[in-house]
Amino acid sequence: MEKGEERGVKFYSSKEAEMDTEVFFNKEMRTNRDLSAIAAKVYSRKIDEEMRICDALAASGIRGMRYTDSGKVWMNDANPSAIEAMKKGLEENDLDAEVSEQDTNVFLSQSKNFYHFVDIDPYGSFVNFLDSAARATHHNGFAGFSATDNAAPAGSYPTVCQRRYGSKPLKNSFMHETGLRIYLKEVFENYARYDKAFDPKICWHERHYTRIMGRVTESKQRCNNSLENIGYISHCSNCGWRKLERIDECPRCETETQKAGPLWIGKIADRRFTQEMLKEIPEEWEDSVELLEKVHGEAEIVTPYYDIHELCSKHKLQVPKLEEVIESLEQTGYPVSPTHFCPTGIRTDAPLDDVLDIIKIQSE
């Protein structure tokens, strides 16, 4: 095993973890761990006892060790080499945590309503761990789910998506937002079965993974109220119009729309929570700060984002500067923001005709 370090925490992992017996570590997931650690810290202040944190698929234990400054940590993995790595890491950093070597579903099922913070960071999809995670989460808790099977809910494998998540995806310029909303629906519905309401606090997509994080509150009423956040996306592939509603005909050009869903149609982040995270995150974590700022900026706008390049190509317009489109839309009073999903994207609740008018003026 080789020694590594992330944000000042030392850990042990296999050089190239290609087999199940080796200890997995992916440096590309640093932002996932950064934002998760900051979310844990922010949430720990909202409960009046020591936070009980569970890293249920811990591998090297880097994530769990980074959580230790927010509460008492339990780390679990079925791989004996991972257990060895976690113990070495804890000793190296002089940290305390409970370590266990069990199947994650068995491990979580022993602790009903126990953990204030549950982290599920598996290979591929989190669906196989959702049920036990929902049961193990405290009635006043928080949970985070990573998924790397993004090709399915982003529309490359619609049959897999239908089977795994019970939803129809759509492959288009905002497919990763559709995918994220399908994941979110799945998490919400699983918690709702246990009368626990899952309220998204910060969800994002980056490169090959999507992360869903939210607050869990045991309340039938909150679950019932949130049912209105489950619905469909309609999209017109002719003119680019889109709405988080099931509408069969495009109101702009009367083309039959394509629909994705059921999926989450509410907000995917809570601006008050992301504001608290912004205060907490060290400024030298530059990539993570940049991502967090974008997610924060677009938190209140629900309309799926527009890729300005795609829109211009569809309407045979010259591509204007993104900043100028944003500035002009701001001047008209519509909420508008860059989006973390796409470097050439904007998120706005302005009608598509207004967006196109502004692009036309900018590109003249």
Ligand X SMILES: C[S@@+](CC[C@H](N)C(=O)[O-])C[C@H]1O[C@@H](n2cnc3c(N)ncnc32)[C@H](O)[C@@H]1O
**Angle, vertex CA 246, rays to CA 245 and CA 247, nearest 5:** 105
Distance between CA atoms of residues 74 and 61, nearest Å: 10
In whole angstroms, how large is the CA radius of gyration of the chain? 21
Q: Of the two residues 42 and 82, which places its CB atom closer to ligand X in the complex?
A: 82
**In the complex, minimum distance from the CB of residue 5 to ligand X, in angstroms, rounded to a whole number:** 13
**In the complex, minimum distance from the CB of residue 305 to ligand X, in angstroms, rounded to a whole number:** 28
Phi, psi values for residue 324, rounded to 5°:
-70, -35
Q: Is 164 helix (H, G, I), strand (E, B) or coil?
A: helix
Q: Of the two residues 144 and 297, which places its CB atom closer to ligand X in the complex?
A: 144
Q: Of the two residues 131 and 330, which places its CB atom closer to ligand X in the complex?
A: 131
* Contact between residue 159 and residue 182 where contact means Cβ atoms under 8 Å apart: no
**In the complex, minimum distance from the CB of residue 144 to ligand X, in angstroms, rounded to a whole number:** 10
**In the complex, minimum distance from the CB of residue 25 to ligand X, in angstroms, rounded to a whole number:** 5
Q: Which of 78, 77, 100, 165 is nearest to 126 (CA)?
A: 165
**In the complex, minimum distance from the CB of residue 154 to ligand X, in angstroms, rounded to a whole number:** 19
Q: Which helix (H) or strand (E) holds 315?
A: none
**In the complex, minimum distance from the CB of residue 351 to ligand X, in angstroms, rounded to a whole number:** 42
Which residues of 49-195 form beta strands (DSSP E)?
A: 52-55, 72-76, 98-100, 115-120, 137-147
Q: Of the two residues 4 and 158, which places its CB atom closer to ligand X in the complex?
A: 4
Cα separations in angstroms, 74 against 58, 119, 145, 223: 9, 10, 17, 28
Which amino acid would we find at residue 63? Answer: R
Please report, as ranges, the residues that interact with ligand X according to CB under 6 A.
24-25, 29, 33, 57-60, 62-63, 77-79, 82, 103-104, 121-123
- Residue written as token pair 């976690």: 86
Q: Of the two residues 132 and 234, which places its CB atom closer to ligand X in the complex?
A: 132
Distance between CA atoms of residues 103 and 77, nearest Å: 7
**In the complex, minimum distance from the CB of residue 128 to ligand X, in angstroms, rounded to a whole number:** 7
Q: Of the two residues 7 and 171, which places its CB atom closer to ligand X in the complex?
A: 7
Q: Of the two residues 61 and 262, which places its CB atom closer to ligand X in the complex?
A: 61
**In the complex, minimum distance from the CB of residue 333 to ligand X, in angstroms, rounded to a whole number:** 43
Q: Of the two residues 211 and 296, which places its CB atom closer to ligand X in the complex?
A: 211
Buried b (16+ CB within 10 A) or exposed e, 326-359: bebbeeeebbbbbbbbbebbbbbebebeebbebb
Distance between CA atoms of residues 330 and 80, nearest Å: 55
